[in-house]
Amino acid sequence: MTDSSPFYITTPIYYVNDKPHVGHCYTTLVADAVARFMRAAGRDVFFLTGTDEHAEKVVTSAAERSLTPIQWADRNAAEFQKAFAFLQCSNDDFIRTTEDRHTQRVRDYIQQLLDSDDIYLGEYEGWYDPSQEEYLTETTAREHDYKSPVTGRELIKRTEKNYFFRLSKYQDRLRKHIEQHPECVQPEARRNEVLGRLREPLQDVPVSRGSGDASGSSGASGGGGTSGGSGGASGGGWGILMPGDESHRVYVWIDALFNYLSTVDTPERQRYWPAQVHLIAKDILWFHAVIWPCMLMALGKPLPATVYSHSFWIREGRKMSKSLGNFLDLPTIEAYCRPFADGGFGIDAFRWYLLTQGPLGATDADFAHDKFVEVYNADLANGIGNAASRVSNMIAKYFEGLCPVAQGVSDVDAALGKTAQSCVERAFERATLTHADPASGFRAGVDISNAVDEYIALTAPFKLAKDPANMQTVGTILYQCAEALRIAAILMSPAMPSAMADLLGRLGQDAPDDKGRFAEPLEELCKWGRLQAGTRIVKGEALFPRWDADRPVPTP
């Protein structure tokens, strides 16, 4: 029976102080591929991405441009939406934390936590780094000789009144939960990191900041070596007011985390909670794996099944940073995504590189042009593209473009079917992001097309075809190939929706809808033998023309 239960997947909501870059696109793309796969599998998917808008840095970067924070937020939120649409992301909603539907609910959640005394008014004293607008733990402050680890400026001992969340109260429960549910923080290296830190006592976390005293948005106060207070520069009324105390505003991180819940906290969407996957990167692991589940416990809500925390993209071997000015930005992404005829690789190929070569594991991944070319040629031009054209050419040449019949299937022929089936199983197993190496799930389709190549090399249908007496055997071989390619195209279609819709069309198959749903569940569609003999197989242009070394690097 097909599992049609709800499957809710989220990405971080991104800061709108600047435009999106490849890192943001990557996380949303991975979520997109998973969402498409799960829709194809028959699940009731809800895929959410969006923007985090109440950060102090939005106020400052807007002021630098003589804009109001909301004007600047509007502009950049639109950039994020445009970028994700351009990359064909199939998100079901896009939440902006400045929307009423979010802010109202955040106030309700905070009120509930105030009522249950999980949030209280307290005083915080700590080492404040004015240059970075954040507090450091005693240990970090001491390690750096009470100077800012970033700028070297003196730290200040500072006290502020804040509302706090009783994180400490939930520490044991959370530790046990993570110990008992290995899938709840992935990959394993990240889970061990969290468990390690949960052995030390936790401090309560600030959830507010003084109203004329807006918080830093560094996000570091729960991450790296920092803790405690929520920062200091003036926010000029930016942020959600604390219920019952208008002298405070909700700390941007707490506001942001609630988006996962607020977006689906309606009668029509309630069934999506708890989320199956919160997809994030390692920079914001602490907030998602520790603070967020503890707040959910306090609210009496079930916990998300998995927080999947990937690593970082670097570029040509170097960290991407503002100071190096080497972010892979939207104009460059668009250049890579131009059609082949216009000097690019196409959107599908860009998605493929990101999805299959990205930092899903515990180590960073390099966006390097030479590697891009290598992967493009190996997997797409010489891989699925070449296999598709060889098979369709032979079917055109020997069978007038009509899919032949498989008869007298030998063990060698049957082995291709078995390989395809095990690739389907692998794709299913990895798509939930609860298993190690999800990228090998995305790659399952190319493994099938590689098996098709090997099978053609082994059985040599082009040689057999020289003798008319062999045509039945040739037909069997080409049926097996076309059938394997049909399954490969289905499995690769969450990663490369347009190119695989094209390939499926050439194989006489229906493409999925624009959210990735097929007319039948994936498991049915991927059953070996569904391809009908007699189906017209179309040759068409090369799906992925080979990239020669002398073609220039795509640039804006």
In the complex, which residues of this chain contact ligand ME8 (CB under 6 A)? 12-15, 23-24, 26-27, 52, 219, 256-257, 280-281, 283-284, 312-313, 320
Among candidate residues 549, 496, 167, 236, the one with its CA nearest the CA of residue 373 = 549
Question: Are 445 and 488 a contacting pair, CB within 8 Å?
Answer: yes
Nearer to ligand ME8, 12 or 516 (CB): 12
Question: Are 351 and 495 a contacting pair, CB within 8 Å?
Answer: yes
Q: Least Å distance between CB 230 and ligand ME8?
A: 14
Nearer to ligand ME8, 95 or 113 (CB): 95
Nearer to ligand ME8, 15 or 428 (CB): 15
Question: Are 211 and 250 a contacting pair, CB within 8 Å?
Answer: no
Q: Least Å distance between CB 79 and ligand ME8?
A: 12
Question: Are 206 and 221 a contacting pair, CB within 8 Å?
Answer: yes
Q: Could you tell me how many residues make up the chain?
A: 556
Q: Least Å distance between CB 407 and ligand ME8?
A: 51
Identity of the residue numbered 123: E
d(CA 242, CA 439): 42
Q: Least Å distance between CB 47 and ligand ME8?
A: 15
To the nearest 5 percent, what fractions of the chain are helix, strand and coil? 50, 15, 35
Strand-pairing partners, residue 48, are: 10, 93
How far from chain centre, in Å, is Cα 544? 25
Q: Least Å distance between CB 272 and ligand ME8?
A: 17
CA distances from 301 to 30, 47, 97, 273 (A): 26, 20, 21, 9
Tokens coding 68: 């109001």
d(CA 198, CA 383): 46
Q: Least Å distance between CB 314 and ligand ME8?
A: 7
Nearer to ligand ME8, 311 or 493 (CB): 311
Q: Least Å distance between CB 22 and ligand ME8?
A: 7
Nearer to ligand ME8, 442 or 455 (CB): 442
Nearer to ligand ME8, 99 or 283 (CB): 283
Which H/E stretch holds residue 476? Answer: helix 471-492
Q: Least Å distance between CB 491 and ligand ME8?
A: 25
Helix (H, G, I), strand (E, B) or coil at 110: helix
Nearer to ligand ME8, 278 or 390 (CB): 278
Nearer to ligand ME8, 124 or 308 (CB): 308
Nearer to ligand ME8, 219 or 475 (CB): 219
CA distances from 157 to 127, 131, 138, 358 (A): 5, 14, 11, 42
Q: Least Å distance between CB 420 and ligand ME8?
A: 32
